[in-house]
Structure 1
Amino acid sequence: MSGLERKVTQMTRSGASLRVGVIGAGRVGSVLAAALRSAGHEIVAVAGESDASRRRAAALLPGVPVEKPTAVARQADLLVLTVPDDMLANVANMLSASGAIRSGQLVLHTSGRHGLGVLSEAAAVGARTIAMHPAMTFTGTEVDLPRLLGCVFGVTAGADEREVAHDLVADLGGSPMWVPEERRALYHAALAHGANHLVTLVAQAREMLSAVAADDPAQAGYDPADTLRPLLTAALDNALHDGDAALTGPMVRGDAGTVEAHLQEVAAVAPHTLPSYVALAGDTLDRVVTDGRVLPIRAAKIRRLLEAAVAGPLASGATRLAAVVRREQR
């Protein structure tokens, strides 16, 4: 065990503060650094190239110097890499080759997609590596700090690093979800599908409602969020609690006529949303047929409507291909 490794182990076991350096003072890095500082750790320096990163560092980490990545790494007992996924390997490899990452040092990244493999060069020089992804969206401002309380972190770590990883998550106010190395991409896909695609879905619903109100002068200034907020809030809470049992609406009732009317209006007024409507309607139908809420004969009629919609002149080639794939899978 190197001197630095003994020091880090002793400090984490005793609850003493670590000297922390952060490379990538973006929305995530600046907030995590501020949270670690509040937990008693010393933020020795951060690296950030953009004006926005420097502004975040000044706002959230007053007094912390902004330095070059190698200088940050050389000062840190714990080095936190919060750079974009596609840059992560290059940054870690460069710092390892330059000697800025060294034996016994804790090197942690916050990518959801990557596990420990992306830090293999750091591990090769003796660093102790951890992947620790916060399952949260960040604004890069102080409003994110209380949101970390109770946040789940997707953590991948070796047996010797599990204890320190657990302690760091606790310092941030969160709880760990232990993710196997080979399941990192699936873990991240689940979060991106649930969160990012939810934003797209809500944006499309807003556009449709805006079209509903567009021709009525009495509804000038109408905000679709007023209609959607209570509905979506209840739907999300119910889905998180009850899963598929929370499904309601025309698919659950097997209302083929209503679905047909939806498809006609969406195709006419908001055709760019038609592929996602059809895809999600088809998946919803599969679920309510599987659990017995809609009879197969009723479902077959709705499937024909969905397939006709994506095979029509307004449908893209990709959407028609998806329909064919779904039909072949059945």
Structure 2
Amino acid sequence: MSAFQQPDPRDRPARLTVGVVGAGRVGPALAASLQLAGHRPVAVSGVSDASRRRAAQLLPDVPLVPPAEVLRRAELVLLTVPDDSLPGLVTGLAETGAVRPGQLLVHTSGRYGAKVLDPALRAGGLPLALHPAMTFTGTAVDVQRLAGCPFGVTAPDELRLAAEALVIEMGGEPEWIAEDMRPLYHAALALGANHLVTLVAQSMELLREAGVAAPDRMLGPLLGAALDNALRSGDAALTGPVARGDAGTVAAHVTELRKHAPQAVSGYLAMARATADRALAHGLLKPELAEDLLGVLANGTDGAEGEAR
């Protein structure tokens, strides 16, 4: 069966009751995808009004209860809380006796592997780290987007098959990440996805400032092509004034950003330096052009404004 196909629930007799601790954007969507595979959501915990609305939309008729009650009712528990809250939550649940022997405990943190669940493991729980490498909206569209979504998976060897099966049932594709590599794995994803959102938002703001009526329509084709080229070709896809060594153009950019968006200058300079380093390393930026460019990047507009005019 392809990872893109949802299994027929009638062909999968070992169905589990599912609980969600933390009804943020991720938990209800994963529980809804497991429901499509034939599992049965039975309990959700959530505090904020937004989390309650998400649970009502994606898991209608599933009761909202305290976290300990979620564990009492469910055989498979999704711990979908913020990274910094996860260790304390796991310790608290284990110390209060909420964890049952044989209970599957799944967290969705990218930062942590399975060891963060050690308190639950000592109580007899079965630990799985299943991190969907996708951004979530908190709406039903997330369930559809899980089709083909890679999951960063870390689990004890004896639970490998269980972890893979759950990911595939959610429509995803398992990618095994070693326990000690989880922080690096998560940093890589944050660098690419989270910072991309910041860059795009800043770019749209600057285009509006420049008088562009529909920045999203202008950026869409450009960014789509840039992303596709980068995924296909890596550093060979680098283009623009930094990769070409156009020091005067870069200086002009910095000057305009200081006037109109000073909060964007440091980010522009940092990304331009990283781009220059990669372009040099891969032979795209000629060494004879790099000196002036790196001087602009080191000093802002000092000594380069004359070239820009």
TM-score under structure 2 length normalisation: 0.91
Q: Does 1:291 align with 2:248?
A: no
Structure 2 match to 1:167: 165
Question: More displaced, 170-179 or 75-84?
Answer: 75-84
Q: Which of 273, 291, 295 is the equivalent residue of 1:282?
A: 273
Shift of 1:272: 1.2
Q: Counterparts of 1:15 and 1:183 in 2: how far apart (Å)?
A: 35
Cα displacement (A) at 1:35: 0.7
- What SS does the corresponding residue of 1:126 show, helix, strand or coil? coil
Structure 1 residue 311: deviation in Å? 7.5
Residue 204 (structure 1) aligns with: 202
Please name the residue that 1:322 is paired with. Answer: none
Q: Is the 2:251–2:301 contact (alpha carbons within 8 Å) kept by the matching residues of 1?
A: no
Compare the two structures and name the one with the higher helix fraction.
1
Residue 26 (str. 1) matches residue 24 (str. 2): yes
Distance 2:37 2:138 in 1: 18
Is 1:238 equivalent to 2:229 in the alignment? yes
Partner of 1:6: none
Distance 2:253 2:57 in 1: 48
Secondary structure of the equivalent of 1:27?
A: coil
In structure 2, give the amino acid aligned to 1:211.
Answer: E
- Matched with 2:306 is none
Q: Unaligned stretches of 5+ in structure 1?
A: 1-12, 214-218, 313-330
Q: Distance in 2 between matches of 1:103 and 1:189?
A: 33
Q: Which residue in 1 is equivalent to 2:79? A: 81
TM, length-normalised to structure 1: 0.85
State how far apart, in whole Å, the 1-side matches of 2:106 and 2:300 are: 48
1:99 corresponds to: 97
Alignment of 1:102-251 (within 5 A): 102-213=100-211, 222-251=213-242
- Alpha-carbon separation, structure 2, partners of 1:33 and 1:293: 47
Judge conservation of contact 1:18–1:78 (CA < 8 Å) in 2: yes
Structure 1, residues 256-306: CA drift from partner, whole Å, max 9, x if none?
222222222222222111111111111111111111122212101100111
Cross-structure match for 1:306 = 297
- Aligned Cα RMSD in Å? 1.6
Aligned-partner Cα distance in 1 for 2:94–2:14 = 26
Contact 2:255 2:301 in 1 (8 A): no
Cα distance in 1 for residues equivalent to 2:301 and 2:38? 57
| Percent identity for Structure 1 against Structure 2 | 54
Which structure 1 residue ranges, 4+ long, deviate > 4 Å from structure 2?
A: none
Which stretch of structure 1 is more off in the superposition, 27-36 or 52-61? Answer: 52-61
Match of 1:60 in 2: 58
The answer (yes or no) to whether the contact 1:278–1:310 under 8 Å persists in 2 is: no
Mapped contact 1:275–1:310 kept (Cα < 8 A): no
Give the 3 Å change call, closer, same or farther, for CA 311–200 of structure 1 in structure 2: farther
- Find the counterpart in structure 2 of residue 256 from structure 1: 247
Aligned residues: 293
* 1:274 counterpart letter in structure 2: V
What SS is found at the alignment partner of 2:26? helix
Pair 1:162–1:209, CA change in 2 (3 A): same
Cα deviation for residue 310 of structure 1 reads: 7.6
Aligned 8 A contact 1:24 1:48 in 2: yes
Which residue in the other structure is 1:323 paired with? Answer: none
Q: CA deviation at 1:211?
A: 1.6
Partner Cα distance (2:264, 2:51) in 1: 35
- Cα deviation for residue 252 of structure 1 reads 2.3
CA contact (8 A) 2:12 2:38 kept: no
